[in-house]
Amino acid sequence: MTNLIVELSKFAFIILIALYTLLSFSAFKKKSPGEVNYVWKLQNLLMFFIHLLAYVVMYLQKEEIKLLIFYLFQLFLLQAVVVMTQVIYPQINRLVLNNMCLLLAIGFIMLTRLSYDRAVRQFQIAAAALILAMVIPVLIRKCGFLTKIPWVYGIAGLILLAAVVVFGESSNGARLSLKIGSFALQPSEFVKITFVFFAAARLSKSTAFKDVVLTTVMAALHVLVLVLSRDLGGALLFFVAYLVMLYVAAKKPLYFISGLGAGCAAAYAGYHLFSHVRVRVMAWSDPFQYIDNEGYQITQSLFAIGTGGWLGTGLYQGEPNKIPVVVEDFMFSAIAEEFGGAFAICLILICVSCFMMFINIAMQIKNDFYKYTALGLGTLYGFQVFLTIGGAVKFIPSTGVTLPLISSGGSSIVATIAMFAIIQGMYLLKEDEELRIEKERKRNARAKAKKARAAKAEKTKERS
Amino acid sequence: MITYLFTGLFALLIGYFVYFNAVLRPEVINNPYNSRQENFAKRVVRGKILASDGTVLAETKTAEDGTEIRSYPYGNVYAHVTGYSTRGRTGIESLANFELLTSNAFFGEQIANELKEEKNIGDNVVTTLDTKLQETAYNALGNHKGAVVVLEAETGRVLAMVSKPDFDPNRVNEDWESLNGEENSDGVFYNRAMQGQYPPGSTFKVVTLLDYMRENPGYEDFHFQCSGSMTEGNYTIRCYGKNAHGNEDLKKAFAKSCNTAFSSIGLSLDEDVFKTNCESLLFNSELPLDLPYSKSAFSLKGGAAPAEQMMTAIGQGETLVSPMHMAMIMSAVANDGILMKPYFLERVETYSGDLVKNFRPSVYGSLMTEAEAEILTEYMRAVVTEGTGSKLDNMGFFVAGKTGTAEYSSDKSKSHAWFAGFSDTGESDIVVCVLVEEAGSGSEYAVPVAREIFNAWNMERE
């Protein structure tokens, strides 16, 4: 009987998330406020169904009461986030909010399935981060000086990254984390934000050639230090985010093209200089030949995705734990294995809708600093999703970056939640701006009408 | 623009993901390293392997208490080709593992089984194997070590594949120790038909001939006076049985398998062109085969010593080939130069016989021109009508082929017997490649095996 429920739940998951995805994209069309509100409510409902069903299916198979208790905690947290955010910030971007909650929920589900302890830890960190993130939009609104201290961001970021190179803990060939007490911190996750702030502050002030050169040197230093710590995925992310920001700020395609050229040259040099780059590329180009060593991880990922097929094996029916470092780098494969390829495609599309919304917001903001920040963070998000999923399905060589909000990792989840909150803050500023403009327009119109009436009165007076 | 760029990237990513799931998936999950396959077995009763006529070659029997036994009714006869699935998996058991452990039975029935907590019944795999030809080949090889491959030239269907010594797939588990033990140095699990690497002996003269024709458009003017041996440097090549073939043209030299004439041809060939031509026949390269195989080797290169040139031209030297590869070369000759990819699986059916998937013949590519294939056929027909393959003459239909007697050690009295050839009727012709290890001459030991197979085929045909 349980088997049957697991089998049927696969279809239910796919239908639920497909509906959710459809609604995500319908949000880009103009609709009346009432309709839109209905869409958001429906999305929330779908999310809670997916979440509930997943825990029911897991409970039926494991029969551990702790799963149900954990579920209730998550339900409370997600519900609280949805409600509280709307109470504090009525103008919040609901698509971003809903997507964040859904991705978190899927992350919790898959992590619980893979490793209960990690899931609990992830939940605790996420809960703390979500509460802290509530104040971020206020901070952005109140603290104008944030836009004026580029070098503070730049230098602080570099110092943090350099500290990793010097004192960092090595894991899987890359130096990524600093140990502070029992906490392992991944500074590069947070430096993403300071880096974007730095570039946005500099580029919004001036795009004169001299300034651009200086900014670019600083950005290149970031990338270089990341390469030194062997965090190639991170280096690539920073590089692409900066390139996009520079292009939009300076509006010079030449910068973009020469940047791309430099990137290609660097990639070529990196390939020949570093053996670990070659190993990654080798494992990508023919993983089955090196199945026992270099290609082991990626082939396990492909086995997972392939065995899952379109419909998935159902929760607990696959073996996603066979993939090394699955909870950090290969969550996508685990999801594709047990929830199926159709579900996985919906997941990609949801991430894409999130990314599109970020860029949308960025393009509507008038203030340059906020615009570039939103753009930079949005690019970081979008490209990171691309890198990790592309790596998992062997579309590109694996770079070992996390799937934001879904993969296990405290630093990653805190930084991503902060990123989402920052973009929300900017969205709110834009809404404020629009409200102000709207008010001003109304006031002007009123004044005009008054004037006209006065003039008319004057005329009639004269005539009489 | 940035949005478009990224959306484009994601579109490509999703496209690749769809491609992976739709096209690459079966091959990936069938990989023996994919331990996830074991999970399927918990929910599905492994399906049957059937011969092309529906004969059961492997099936799973479930006892009262639920234990499953994989049974192979024909025991040793199909050992290497069907393989086993009791200790790891080999052969078609490995190749079609995913299909065998997938059930496409009626949906409602599957749900009913879930409710009853009973296993679903896996799909059956219908192979290309022909029971009559397989049994004939198996019996004809007798107690010799060796291998037989039978292909359908036009399609690439593998009709029979035998390797000896063999084993009983029913008893792999029980006999595991002794089958792998030291006293068993013959390597019974080793599929000689595809993994064996043998000096091709005179069957390689087909390749030498093709290269000679390509290098010398005026090859028809070739004349040679065979005195039974020739010496170049300080190396002497002798014709088989110390025969002197006298005055001969190219066709006669080929038909009589004259070592002396072909050695002198070998000396005249450009080694590098020879190598390129061999590689176009898939020496030193991957073969389009779905079961484990060994690559064939051809190592002659520019500046080789005369002895090496001479030996290579008559298939001695360093050249190594598997019976399957030799059969593939012959199938290209028989099929106007086009090599069809050999395949073992005809279709997949549900246990109740509904079609799930059909496998179609696929063209690998052209190994030679149609004209070249025609000339090679003509020369190989002469082998049968007036040369070393005369035991295949007067069978009621044309056969073309080439014999070989390959010395493999310094002991000249020991040799592997080869025959590779095909029926030449123009209608669903078969390619037969026979290798008898440590037997003697090809015409004496390999040709009779081929004859029985051709006979069986002819009887089936009528």
Indicate the residue type of B193: A
- Closest in B16, B25, B43 to A306, CB measured: B25
**pLDDT beyond 90 at B179:** no
Q: Which positions in chain A touch B43 (Cβ < 8 Å)?
A: 3
**pLDDT beyond 70 at B274:** yes
**Chain A: nearest CA to B143, how far in angstroms?**
37
- Closest in B28, B115, B117 to A306, CB measured: B28
Lowest mean pLDDT among A240-244, A326-330, A437-441, B48-52: A437-441
Average pLDDT in chain A: 89
pLDDT for the residue B214: 94
Interfacial A residues in 301-360 facing B (CB < 8 Å):
302-307, 309-310, 313, 317-319, 322, 341, 344-345, 348-349, 352, 355-356, 359
**pLDDT beyond 70 at B183:** no
Q: What confidence category does residue A356 fall into, taking pLDDT thresholds of 50, 70 and 90?
A: very high
**Inter-chain touch A306–B17, beta carbons under 8 Å:** no
**Inter-chain touch B18–A345, beta carbons under 8 Å:** yes
Best of B1, B3, B4, B7 to disrupt the A interface (most A CBs within 10 Å) is B3
> Which structure tokens are listed for B314?
């008559």
Span B194-198, average pLDDT: 94
- Between CA A287 and CA A326 the distance in angstroms is 17
A32: helix, strand or coil: coil
Query: Which tens digit of pLDDT belongs to each residue from B446-456?
Result: 999 999 999 99
Best of B23, B29, B38, B113 to disrupt the A interface (most A CBs within 10 Å) is B29
Q: Which positions in chain B touch A395 (Cβ < 8 Å)?
A: 12-13, 16-17
Q: Which positions in chain A touch B18 (Cβ < 8 Å)?
A: 341, 345
**pLDDT beyond 70 at A172:** no
What superfamily would CATH give domain B202-319?
Answer: DD-peptidase/beta-lactamase superfamily (3.40.710.10)
pTM of the model: 0.75
Q: Which positions in chain B touch A375 (Cβ < 8 Å)?
A: 2
Best of A395, A396, A399 to disrupt the B interface (most B CBs within 10 Å) is A395
**pLDDT beyond 90 at B215:** yes
Span A106-124, average pLDDT: 95
Q: What confidence category does residue B185 fall into, taking pLDDT thresholds of 50, 70 and 90?
A: low
Other beta carbons within 10 Å of A366: 11
Query: Which tens digit of pLDDT belongs to each residue from B337-355?
Result: 999 999 999 999 999 999 9
| B370 Cβ contact list (under 8 Å, min separation 6) | B336, B337
Other beta carbons within 10 Å of A157: 26
**Chain A: nearest CA to B67, how far in angstroms?**
21
**Inter-chain touch B2–A383, beta carbons under 8 Å:** no
**Chain A: nearest CA to B329, how far in angstroms?**
27
pLDDT for the residue A181: 67
The complex scores an ipTM of: 0.89
**Inter-chain touch B10–A348, beta carbons under 8 Å:** yes
Write down the H helix ranges in A229-367.
Answer: 232-250, 253-273, 275-285, 296-308, 326-329, 331-339, 341-364
Q: What confidence category does residue B261 fall into, taking pLDDT thresholds of 50, 70 and 90?
A: very high
**Inter-chain touch B6–A382, beta carbons under 8 Å:** yes
Best of A14, A317, A393 to disrupt the B interface (most B CBs within 10 Å) is A393
**pLDDT beyond 70 at B184:** no
**Inter-chain touch B31–A379, beta carbons under 8 Å:** no
Span A272-276, average pLDDT: 83
**Inter-chain touch A341–B21, beta carbons under 8 Å:** yes
pLDDT for the residue B17: 94
- Closest in B10, B39, B117 to A386, CB measured: B10
**Inter-chain touch B34–A345, beta carbons under 8 Å:** no
**Inter-chain touch B20–A291, beta carbons under 8 Å:** no
Span A204-213, average pLDDT: 87
The reply to whether A383 touches chain B by the CB within 8 Å rule is yes
- What is the spatial order of strands in the sheet that A169-171 belongs to? A169-171, A174-180, A183-185
**pLDDT beyond 60 at A379:** yes
Dihedral (CA of A257, A259, A260, A262) sign: positive
- A287: nearest CA in chain B? B28
Domain boundaries, chain B: 202-319
Q: Which positions in chain B touch A244 (Cβ < 8 Å)?
A: 2
Average pLDDT in chain B: 90
- Closest in B17, B34, B36 to A345, CB measured: B17
Residue burial A20-35, b: 16+ Cβ < 10 Å; e: rest: bbebbeebeeeeeeee
Lowest mean pLDDT among A290-294, B41-45, B295-299: A290-294
Burial class (CB in 10 A: 0-12, 13-18, 19+), B42: exposed
Q: Find, among B367, B357, B302, B303, the residue nearest to B331 by Cα.
A: B367
pLDDT for the residue B45: 92
